[in-house]
Amino acid sequence: MPEKLVALRLRMVKDQIVARGIRDSQIVRAMEIIPRHKFVPYTKPLYAYGDGPLPIGQGQTISQPYITAYMTELLQLRPSDRVLEVGTGSGYQAALLSCVCKEVFSMEIIAAHSARARKVLEELQYTNVHLRLGDGRQGWAEAAPFDRIIVTAAARDRVPPALLQQLGADGRLVIPLGKTVYSQRLLVYSRRDDQLIEEEDLAVRFVPLVEGGDGNLSRKAGVP
């Protein structure tokens, strides 16, 4: 069984990641190693390496492996970077980031997700990942500024202002933006001196960022 999973993982990386143009060898290598099946509680291990998003409970999904890799590559990570992730979810993206940068600070609004991700990340000894339960739109002021920020749920129409404030000099921020799953785009912001440069990238589909003080969990995920 473990050999079978390793074979599936290597195939996933070859067919879904490398064949589609992800070139960063550190990302590729990390995805060959990280046991993705440990991060997806409702999916049989053999299906964890498929080419699509998977449910992680409470209407939320872990992104398709290619999107996880693609967003990570867009960040243009350097080994010394400290990264803020909004939307810990399963913890898989955090694990990937942790292999390619110095420290990861990841926030999640759903307690059950955060607790589960903590358990898996601890078990697998990703010691440079710090998790916090709370509204990631407020960022993590005590740990700011961040070299890179990645948001893994879609904001409706703008980047949460606190995140831009917590983005350091030469920082890059990647976020899906759009009111509906059909209009979402992946946006990349880069800070140069006092300027913030915006670039638009792929059309994507993400579950929405939870808005409102109480984190309204009854809201349905926006994935069709």
Active site residues: 63
Nearest distance from residue 125's CB to ligand SAH, in Å?
18
Tell me which of 8, 110, 163, 174 binds ligand SAH, using CB under 6 A.
110
Q: Check residue 76 and give left, alpha or beta (phi > 0: left; psi -120 to 50: alpha).
A: left
Residue 188 amino acid letter: V
Nearest distance from residue 196's CB to ligand SAH, in Å?
21
108 counts as binding ligand SAH under rule CB under 6 A: yes
Write out the binding residues for ligand SAH, residues 163-222 only, by CB under 6 A. Answer: 207, 209-210
Q: With CB under 6 A as the contact rule, which of the stretches 18-26, 132-140, 141-149, 167-175 interacts with ligand SAH?
A: 132-140
98 counts as binding ligand SAH under rule CB under 6 A: no
153 counts as binding ligand SAH under rule CB under 6 A: yes
Per-residue buried b or exposed e for 135-146, using 16+ beta carbons within 10 Å of the residue's own CB? bbbebbeeebbb
Q: Which is nearer to ligand SAH, 81 or 108 (CB)?
A: 108
